[in-house]
Amino acid sequence: MKKQRKRIYTALLCTCFLFSTASVPVSAAETEQGEMITLSNRSGEAEVSMKDALTSALGDSNISKITLKQDIAISDTLTVNRAVTLDLNGNVLKMTGSDSVIKVEADGDLTIQDRNTTTQHTFNPHCKYQFWYIDMWELDKDGSEIVSGGVITGGGGDQNNGGGVLVAGGTLTMAGGSIVGCSARSRGGVYLAYDSATGKSGTFIMTGGSIIGCAAQLGGGVYVAPECTFAMATGSNIHNCIANNDGGGVINHGTFQMHGGTISACTTVAFGGGGVCNKGTFIISDVMIKGCTSPDGQYASGGGVRNSNQFTMTGGTIGDPDNQNDASSVYNTSSQETTLTISNNAKIHTNVTNVGILNADGGEMTGKVTNGNEYGTGTITGSEGAAGSTEFHGKVTNTGTIRKGTFMNEVINESSGTINGGTFTGAITNNDGTVLDGDFSGATLNGMLVITFDPNNGDQPSTQKVNWSKDGAALTAPDPVPTNEGHSIEGWYYD
């Protein structure tokens, strides 16, 4: 009987142990510093409340998702070199040192999400950035601006690149949360870099969340280096960022794709592209850029967009259609590679200055357009094979060349301007410019035409000014009649 009682007792103990193990939802792992990482009963997930636990969890390849349980302050950059998800959970991840908050290395694949979007954090929007003395946002319990949900903040200080997030050849997907008040001495609150050691380029996919109140010398919000890619989708936004030089919201040397989202209220202090300064490939299909500003001048124009390479709009909007004073103007600079293409249902509601190539393949422009200026000669033309035509609803002043477009308002063709195509339905005034072709059947014609008679015999051509009219103008043949030995003149023809 004693042996039997012992066997029953042992069996009962085993049963109780198994029952207890199955009913406990969480356990804890201890870091070297003695802090605790709370492990979820869901495999591969962890909840952390202190910096060393967060660092340890990022380094543990068995953990695929990390959730912040409370605000965490760090003094050293968090490095990501594997696939992992970080859930801010409505909390603040703050850098107290002078480096980036997060660095995603070449093998890193970080997803940032935020399941608690209701917690509010206050910021002072007028904190003076120490190097350039420009406004940026700073976490402040007495601040006037509210950001809801999880926040990454405080990065930068004297750090050169990517005060908030440095994506050095890896991939970052931002599905939620906000990067707020991060700064860089040189480039970007967020900086995408090419890793020469591995040959990998940084990629940032923004499907949600915000980049707010960041500051830098170049690319206050985002700096995209050559060969890197940044993509925005509906629900994401970049706003209130500032640069001392180019690109208050974004400066792009790589590829930037905007399939949704908003860039707003960004600015530059000294140079151009308050919203966007593009020196790479920029593609917009559905987005709004509004309320952005920059100073005036050759190198400082383009409150909304300053383009120096390839900028393509197949949809989306630049400028607030409900605000006639929106300063988000567009400046298409003068270089052989500079092309601005607008098509489909894209709309630009602000003023446009074109001293490069403007492909008018569709869409609408409702602001004033200046084609050519003292810094270069602009060309309004079309992409090869493009059937659509952009509608110009605002006044157009031309000192360059017009080959395509539907011009529904006033057009001024100055003396250095050439019209060689397009459809005109408003008033058009020619101030001694050149008119070679175009549909003027629906236009009101004003001004003078300069008719050039070229004798084709080596003598200098002669000119006559006539009133430009749909009824035509009477011309008087040059006197004396030009001569050419061995030939007789039969008359004049148009070429």
pLDDT of the residue at 493:
77
288 and 265 Cβ atoms separated by less than 8 Å: no
**How many CA atoms, within 13 angstroms, populate the side-chain half-sphere of residue 288?**
14
List 206's β-bridge partners, or say none: 174, 232
pLDDT of the residue at 384:
93
> Structure tokens of 132?
């350039």
pLDDT digits (tens, 9 = 90+) for 131-182: 666 788 999 999 999 999 999 999 875 567 898 999 999 999 999 999 999 9
pLDDT of the residue at 22:
36
Asked whether residue 463 carries a pLDDT value surpassing 60, the answer given is yes
pLDDT of the residue at 191:
96
Q: Residue 236 — pLDDT band, cuts 50, 70, 90?
A: very high
pLDDT of the residue at 327:
92
pLDDT of the residue at 10:
38
Distance CA 72, CA 331 (A): 43
pLDDT of the residue at 465:
83
pLDDT of the residue at 478:
83
**How many CA atoms, within 13 angstroms, populate the side-chain half-sphere of residue 334?**
13
Average pLDDT score, the chain: 88
Asked whether residue 24 carries a pLDDT value surpassing 60, the answer given is no
Asked whether residue 435 carries a pLDDT value surpassing 90, the answer given is yes
Asked whether residue 27 carries a pLDDT value surpassing 70, the answer given is no
**Residue 465, phi then psi, degrees to nearest 5:** -100, 135
Angular region, 81: left φ>0, alpha ψ -120 to 50, beta rest:
alpha
pTM for the complete prediction? 0.88
pLDDT digits (tens, 9 = 90+) for 98-123: 899 999 999 999 999 999 999 999 99
Q: Residue 33 — pLDDT band, cuts 50, 70, 90?
A: very low
pLDDT of the residue at 5:
42
Q: Where are the beta strands (DSSP E) in 346-443?
A: 347-348, 352-354, 357-360, 364-365, 369-371, 379-381, 391-392, 396-398, 401-402, 406-407, 411-413, 418-424, 427-431, 434-439
Over range 201-222, report the average pLDDT.
96
**Residue 23, phi then psi, degrees to nearest 5:** -95, -10
| SS3 (DSSP) at 171 | strand
Over range 382-395, report the average pLDDT.
96
Residue 495 CA to chain centroid, in angstroms? 46
Asked whether residue 39 carries a pLDDT value surpassing 80, the answer given is no
Cβ within 8 Å of residue 4, ≥6 positions away: none
pLDDT of the residue at 21:
36
Q: Where are the beta strands (DSSP E) in 89-226?
A: 92-95, 102-104, 109-113, 120-128, 135-139, 145-148, 151-153, 165-168, 171-174, 178-180, 183-187, 190-195, 200-201, 203-206, 209-212, 215-218, 222-224
* 411: amino acid identity, one letter: V
Over range 203-227, report the average pLDDT.
96
Higher pLDDT, 490 or 157: 490
Q: Residue 26 — pLDDT band, cuts 50, 70, 90?
A: very low
pLDDT of the residue at 42:
61
Asked whether residue 29 carries a pLDDT value surpassing 60, the answer given is no
Question: Which element (helix H / strand E) includes 449?
Answer: strand 444-453
Asked whether residue 273 carries a pLDDT value surpassing 80, the answer given is yes
Higher pLDDT, 31 or 102: 102
Over range 334-358, report the average pLDDT.
94
Over range 424-451, report the average pLDDT.
93
Please classify residue 1 by burial: count the beta carbons closer than 10 Å to its beta carbon, then call 0-12 exposed, 13-18 middle and 19+ buried: exposed
Cβ neighbours of 389 (radius 10 Å): 18
Share of residues in the chain with pLDDT > 70 (%): 89
Please classify residue 469 by burial: count the beta carbons closer than 10 Å to its beta carbon, then call 0-12 exposed, 13-18 middle and 19+ buried: exposed
pLDDT of the residue at 417:
96
pLDDT of the residue at 467:
86
Q: Residue 129 — pLDDT band, cuts 50, 70, 90?
A: low
| SS3 (DSSP) at 10 | helix
Distance CA 412, CA 395 (A): 8
pLDDT of the residue at 482:
84
Q: How far apart, in Å, are the Cα atoms of 9 and each of 4, 19, 21, 368?
A: 9, 15, 19, 92
Asked whether residue 18 carries a pLDDT value surpassing 80, the answer given is no
63 and 44 Cβ atoms separated by less than 8 Å: yes
pLDDT of the residue at 148:
98
Distance CA 330, CA 356 (A): 12
**How many CA atoms, within 13 angstroms, populate the side-chain half-sphere of residue 330?**
33
List 84's β-bridge partners, or say none: 110
Asked whether residue 127 carries a pLDDT value surpassing 90, the answer given is no
Q: Residue 297 — pLDDT band, cuts 50, 70, 90?
A: low
Asked whether residue 381 carries a pLDDT value surpassing 80, the answer given is yes
Over range 5-31, report the average pLDDT.
39
pLDDT of the residue at 157:
55
62 and 37 Cβ atoms separated by less than 8 Å: no
Distance CA 419, CA 46 (A): 67
Asked whether residue 130 carries a pLDDT value surpassing 80, the answer given is no
